[in-house]
Amino acid sequence: MNGFLYKHPSTILASDLKTLLLNHAVRSSANIVTAAEFPGLNTLGMSMARTDIDPYDVVLPHSHPRASEMMFVPSGSVLAAFFDTTGKLFQKRLREGDVFIFPRGLVHFIMNYGLRLATMFSVLSSQNPSVVGITHAMFAPDSDVVEGWWPE
């Protein structure tokens, strides 16, 4: 049905419903966990992610063609933004405890505007949301946009 083997309810264990894959910070990167890595997500139509961003760093523009994303900020402060299909920019500064929604398939990015590591947890509305990055397609790999656009 969804590309993963069905697990009969009588064979499900408590360990299938817990993961340690989002416990640790992955500096200036996102870690998406799908049903392939976390059996408890199988058939639920969702995946999860943890994103940790160093001060003045950015998660480059990307989209998830098969999922909307709901992002929660437990620590730090970030600027979350996306472009709608007409090119209009929607952006909001988020602080600890805030939640922001990225609609399915729209290009979005996140910037840490604080002085310490920012951490976000996301739930995506697909078991396999996919990630499509656009930065390397638009800019040379050694450009300021890709290597570190933030002014010194």
Kindly provide the residue ranges of all beta strands, DSSP E only, lying in the chain, ordered along the sequence.
Answer: 29-33, 47-53, 58-63, 69-75, 78-83, 89-94, 99-102, 108-112, 118-124, 132-133
136 is in an annotated binding site: no
Residue 37 known to bind ligand = no
> Max CA-CA distance within the chain?
58
Known binder of ligand: residue 62? Answer: yes
Q: Tell me which H or E stretch contains 138.
A: helix 135-138
Q: Determine if residue 8 is labeled as part of a ligand binding site.
A: no
Cβ proximity of 75 and 55 under 8 Å: no
Binding residue numbers for oxalate: 64, 69
Q: Which residues are annotated as a binding site?
A: 62, 64, 69, 108
Q: Which residues are annotated as a binding site for Mn(2+)?
A: 62, 64, 69, 108
